[in-house]
Structure 1
Amino acid sequence: MAKPESAGPEYDVVISGASLAGSAAAILLARRGARVALLERRSDPGAYKVLCTHSLTANSYPVLDELGLIPALEETGAIPNHARWYTRWGWIEPKDTPNGPALPHAYNVRRSTLDPLIRARAERTPGVDLLLGHQVTGVVREAGRVAGVRVSAPRGEREIRARLVVGADGKDSPVAKFAGVPARPYENARFGYFAHFRGLPLRDGISHVWFLEPDMAYAFPNDDGVTVVAVLPDKKRLPAFREDLEGSFFAFVRALPEAPPVDSAERITKITGTVDYPLHSRRPTAPGVAFVGDAALTSDPLWGVGCGWALQTAQWLADAVAPAVTGRGDLDKSLAAYARTHQRRLLGHQRLAVDFARSRPFNPLERLMFSAAARDEAVARHIHLFASRLMSPPRFLSPTALARASAVNLKHRRATAPSARLSRTGA
């Protein structure tokens, strides 16, 4: 029941978007004592995002654990997302440290499974009101800051006031548009198409990624025996690719090293994708507003980091603002703290993704690290931690890491030099 105007806003937080970032933020904020309105423009509680890598990188595991979703994910058949990566130097195959900790992981799980699961968890959380069929049509301003939203709802127009409005509504965020917070776009010089297959075996049953410089591809096993296969070629190939989409897709996959046998598998979806998916970044906060997930930062889908970052940003926001939205702190200072965390943790990763999205071959540092990783287990584990977003770019390219990679490659060159000389002399 709405409180009288004199008693303050109806909610502490109103969140637009009830997918991963929005549902996670709603759960975490409500557990910290906030009253949350979770708005979803779609009326179907089983709605889900279609265009996705369907992978939760290992950086999201602590958030999944806090949300209590690990047992539920494993019950659905979600697949631990260990992976191997093809490069021109061979396969990078990270392994557990001998007599040490196992490699961290999270899960590959279809969004058709994941989205309804986390949304239902949010709906059952005390303090969360899930409002389906509620589309944001504007924001309410008061004293120079956003103080709520206007929505189109099944019973007509409605105004919902809150101490904080959260945009969890994707890269084209309506909340950001109405609040006047623009995004900075970065060109993605690759396009992408994907399809789902059942009965598609992969070596060791784990994810495969192909770095073809500049083209990319991946195959991720998911729940219910379904594998998503994606191709991400340079846009220079787009005109020819479009002439015969199905033929081009299958020809691309068949040509991959150790190609997954798509011709003998059952394709259970259409080949879908996008020819233009720019990266976006926007300020993660404004007076009375915060953004999580793709609404704050949309990266290159080839890295599969979007779902993990959606969950992490929801957790960072809840940690930063929960006291303030429940009347126990300064909201502007809390939002500033969230913005600092967001930029400190993600800005370096995004800069590297923006650079690689130009569809270029590996640069010298990348050649050093990836070639060494194909030859050395320790460097392969280092690559795994970085790809899982458990390591910052400065640590990934630290002097120690570069020295290790250089030593590995030098040892490799010395070991192969005698055979190369024999080959040249015809011996």
Structure 2
Amino acid sequence: MSTTDSGSDHDVVISGASLAGSAAAILLARRGARVALLERRSDPEAYKVLCTHSITANAHPVLDELGLVPALERAGAVRNEARWYTRWGWIEPRAASTGPELPYAYNIRRSVLDPLIRSRAAETPGVDLLLGHQVKGLVQEAGRTVGVRATAPDGSERQIRARLVVGADGKDSAVAKYAGVPSREYENGRFGYLAHFRDLPLPGGIGQVWFLEPDMAYAFPNDDGVTVLAVLPGKARLPAFRADLEGSFLDFVRALPDAPPVDSAERVSKFIGTVDYPLHSRRPTAPGLALVGDAALTGDPLWGVGCGWALESARWLAEAVAGPATGRGDLDRALAAYARTHGRRLRGHQFLAVDYARARPFNPVERLVFSAAARDEAVARHMHRYASRLIGPGRFLSPSALARAAVVNLKHRDAAAGGVRQG
């Protein structure tokens, strides 16, 4: 490994050394690729600020493959159990008495996670980490991307050629724009703010999520005793937040059912947020080019899926293209395989997220499932698997799952009616 480029060509150039880019660099290099990993920021400790700071359980196998699980636990990462408030009560997923523990991954602040995975990439043989290098354009020949033009820390411009260029540079991906990859944008009817608090006790010491229809909130315990507390109201509340951000934030939290005692906690960060966070979807490939993480698909932050999908998409890409990227096989065919996997695994999730981002109350199907999950442990576990992105919408809303939810609610209604008659 070196932190400077020798000027030789690479098999892969990756723009963005955050979660998706660093993971892709490690996984590709382990499969024999020579990787130039470019990061526009010069500080190796740089990190993404606006994030749920949670990695969903679908990404645990990727963390394991990267060898990061022991390091995360040493860093104080918290296994991300959670309970969810609904108008029918709390949904509290628990492992079955005779079954395995619930799947999990971790809550960890990006100020810890990003430097950790970036340093792991820098230590990986075959990865050249180029800090302070910003992509300013692409090198294209005969209709395909064959490299990048980037500025170095001293302001000079250099050209780095490769068989494959990967955009891991976030929702506003410069790589995608330079390549002319169109983006479909979907309006988000909510805005969001978060802050970090110390000494904020939560029931059971686990995450709490509030579905207030249409407003949302969550509190996720993280490393070092810090809890990330976020509010995601519908945009009708935006004028009040603009007039008094701190007061509106705290009033929103105080009004939550079973609200965490925010007034007795210590706020250890600024209020961080955005008033406009649309969802984006892009075709994840073009000739000689691939997109991973938010560059390919930016979901609604209220679901906390971005980190998990960043890691998963990095793995899907490495599995598909490692051979062709090193000259062994058809790269275009491999990229097509990656695009199919990406679409098959994420398109349905994004479809439902786009619909819910309209900041509407629950629809009839959601009412059926959420109410049953508040009343039945098996349905709650089913919801946990979906929230962890271990199953897709097809299984989550399968006929058998909906039938089970309907039976649960009928039994609840009959029991309630019996109690009234007896009274």
Under TM normalisation by the shorter chain, which class is it?
over 0.9
C-alpha displacement of 1:332: 0.1
In the TM superposition, what are the counterparts of 1:58-207 in structure 2 within 5 Å? 58-155=57-154, 156-207=156-207
Matched position secondary structure for 2:237: helix
Matches within 5 A, 1:196-275: 196-275=196-275
Distance 2:241 2:124 in 1: 47
- The answer for the alignment partner of 1:312 in structure 2 is 312
Q: In structure 1, what residue type is equivalent to 2:136?
A: T
Q: How far does residue 390 in structure 1 lie from its aligned partner after superposition?
A: 0.2
Deviations 1:339-366 (A, max 9, x none): 0000000000000000000000111111
> Secondary structure at 1:367's aligned position in 2?
helix
1:418 positional shift: 2.6
Query: For residues 395 and 382 of structure 2, what CA distance do their matches in structure 1 show?
Result: 10
When the two structures are superposed, what TM-score results if normalisation uses the length of structure 1? 0.97
Equivalence for 2:39: 40
What is the rounded CA distance, in whole Å, between the counterparts of 1:392 and 1:41 in structure 2?
A: 35
Which amino acid in the other structure matches residue 151 of structure 2?
S
Count how many residue pairs are aligned between Structure 1 and Structure 2: 417
**Amino acid in the other structure paired with 1:324:** P
How far apart, in 2, do the equivalents of 1:418 and 1:303 lie?
38
- Could you tell me how far apart the structure 2 residues matched to 1:230 and 1:395 are? 29
Give 2:334's aligned residue. Answer: 334
Structure 1 position 68, deviation (Å): 0.1
What amino acid is the match of 1:148? G
* 1:361-376 paired onto structure 2 within 5 Å: 361-376=361-376
Query: CA offset at residue 119 of structure 1?
Result: 0.0
Offset at residue 419 of structure 1 (A): 2.9
SS at match of 1:43: coil
CA distance in 1: counterparts of 2:250 and 2:377, whole angstroms: 33
Aligned pairs for 1:337-348 within 5 A: 337-348=337-348
CA–CA separation in structure 1 for the residues paired with 2:240 and 2:311: 38
- Residue 96 of structure 2 aligns to a residue whose secondary structure is coil
What is the letter of the counterpart of residue 408 of structure 2?
V
Once the two structures are TM-superposed, the CA of residue 99 in structure 1 deviates from its matched residue by: 1.4
Q: For 1:277 and 1:154, how far apart are their aligned partners in 2?
A: 31
Deviations 1:179-208 (A, max 9, x none): 110211000000001110000000011000
Counting only pairs closer than 5 Å after superposition, residues 395-410 of structure 1 correspond to structure 2 as 395-410=395-410
- Structure 2: which 5+ runs fail to align? 1-5
What SS is found at the alignment partner of 1:314?
helix
The answer for the alignment partner of 1:2 in structure 2 is 7
User: Is 1:53 aligned to residue 58 of structure 2?
Assistant: no
Give SS of 1:214's match.
Answer: coil
State the match for 1:279 in structure 2.
279
Q: Partner of 1:7 in structure 2?
A: none
Report the alpha carbon displacement of residue 126 of structure 1 after superposing the two structures with TM: 0.0
C-alpha distance in structure 2 between counterparts of 1:402 and 1:185, whole Å: 31
In structure 1, how many angstroms separate the alpha carbons of the residues matched to 2:225 and 2:375?
Answer: 32
Q: Which moved more, 1:97-106 or 1:296-305?
A: 97-106
State the one-letter code of the partner of 1:262.
V
Deviates more, 1:89-98 or 1:238-247: 238-247
Q: One-letter code of the match for 1:252? A: F
Distance 1:418 1:378 in 2: 24
Residue type at the aligned position of 1:151: A
| Contact kept? 2:42, 2:153, Cα under 8 Å | no
* Rounded Cα–Cα distance in structure 2 between residues aligned with 1:143 and 1:35: 23
- Structure 2 residue identity aligned to 1:194: L
Deviations 1:370-420 (A, max 9, x none): 000000000000000000000010100111101110100000000000333
RMSD of Structure 2 on Structure 1 (CA): 0.7
Please report how far the alpha carbon of residue 421 of structure 1 lies from its aligned counterpart in structure 2 after TM superposition. 4.5
For residues 69-115 of structure 1, give each alpha carbon's deviation from its aligned partner in whole angstroms, at most 9, with x where no partner exists.
00000001100000000000000000011111110000000000000
Percent identity of paired positions between Structure 1 and Structure 2:
77
SS in 2 for 1:390: coil
Task: Return the alpha-carbon distance in structure 1 between the equivalents of residues 216 and 240 of structure 2.
Answer: 17
Distance, in Å, in 2 between the alignment partners of 1:181 and 1:235 is 30
Distance 2:201 2:272 in 1: 21
Task: Give the Cα–Cα distance (whole angstroms) in 1 for the partners of residues 270 and 89 of structure 2.
Answer: 32
Q: Distance in 1 between matches of 2:284 and 2:278?
A: 18
Q: Structure 2: how far apart are the matches of 1:292 and 1:31?
A: 18
Secondary structure of the 2:258 match is coil
1:240 deviates by 1.7
Equivalent in the alignment of 1:12: 11
1:391 aligned residue: 391
> Is the 8 Å Cα contact of residues 7 and 160 (structure 2) preserved in structure 1?
no
User: What is the rounded CA distance, in whole Å, between the counterparts of 2:182 and 2:135 in structure 1?
Assistant: 17
* SS class of match (1:119): helix
Look up the SS of the partner of 2:17 in the other structure: coil
CA distance in 2 between partners of 1:374 and 1:352 (Å): 21
Task: Write the letter of the residue equivalent to 1:96.
Answer: A
Q: Tell me how far apart the structure 1 counterparts of residues 61 and 420 of structure 2 sit (CA, whole Å).
A: 48
